[in-house]
Amino acid sequence: MQILHPFAGSVQQYIEQLDNPDSYRPGHCPQCQAKHPLTAHGFYTRTLIDTAFDGVIRVRRYLCQTCQRTVSLLPEFVLPYLRSSLAVIALFLITCLLMTQTLSNATRTAPPPMPYQRGQFWIRRFRAQAESLCAALAALTKPVPAPDFVHRAVTMLQSTGWVAAHRFLFAGVRCHLGWPRGLAPDGRRAALSTAAAPA
């Protein structure tokens, strides 16, 4: 199971805190509700492209001794299955959709520059989900007048913050590839624990 790790710092700060398993150790199991802090259980790795980072990050896993299932803490700045960070995707979508740069121009000048096809994939996905995204975001912020759903969705995301809307973004991609149960697509908040580390 994957749960969202509400990490607000930079990628570098995320990497630095990883060596201490107590920093964000879940205080209980989100799968069986056992009330024991989970045991550190290694990492898995994944690639990440951020505005100033292109490499591999580790994602910490914990084990519940009661049900013997693992929980991994996915930092909020990444999206499941997508290599680029949320910040990179957000900047690109804003450039293309709000600042109306052409797709080829935006892919060339984006931080970091990217293949045209990748930008095209994000734009298509975003357009396809813009209407349902507006409906989902209405739970977080007031709908704004806009010429279409795409503009309305981007403007609403700017007001809620893209990380706050993490669970709604690219929901179609996630469903297509297999949604991790911990990142519920139906608007239920992902289970989080900010409980203190065990003594």
Binding site for Zn ion (CB under 5 A): 29, 31-32, 34, 64, 66-67
Nearer residue to Zn ion within complex by CB, 140 or 192: 192
Q: Which residues, at least 6 apart from 102, have a Cβ–Cβ distance to it below 8 Å?
A: 96
Distance CA 194, CA 36 (A): 13
Q: What is the DSSP letter of 55?
A: E
Shortest reach from residue 31's CB to Zn ion, in Å: 5
Shortest reach from residue 7's CB to Zn ion, in Å: 23
Shortest reach from residue 79's CB to Zn ion, in Å: 26
Closest CA to 46 of 5, 12, 80: 80
Nearer residue to Zn ion within complex by CB, 46 or 69: 69
Nearer residue to Zn ion within complex by CB, 30 or 119: 30
The CB-side HSE value for 156 (13 A sphere, CA atoms) comes to 27
Q: What is the DSSP letter of 29?
A: -
Shortest reach from residue 71's CB to Zn ion, in Å: 8
Nearer residue to Zn ion within complex by CB, 108 or 181: 181
**Amino acid sitting at position 168:** F
Distance CA 182, CA 198 (A): 23
Nearer residue to Zn ion within complex by CB, 29 or 110: 29
b/e map of 172-183 (b: 16 or more CB within 10 Å)? ebbeeeebbebb
Q: What is the phi/psi pair of residue 97, to 5°?
A: -95, -35
Shortest reach from residue 21's CB to Zn ion, in Å: 17
Nearer residue to Zn ion within complex by CB, 33 or 102: 33
Shortest reach from residue 65's CB to Zn ion, in Å: 8
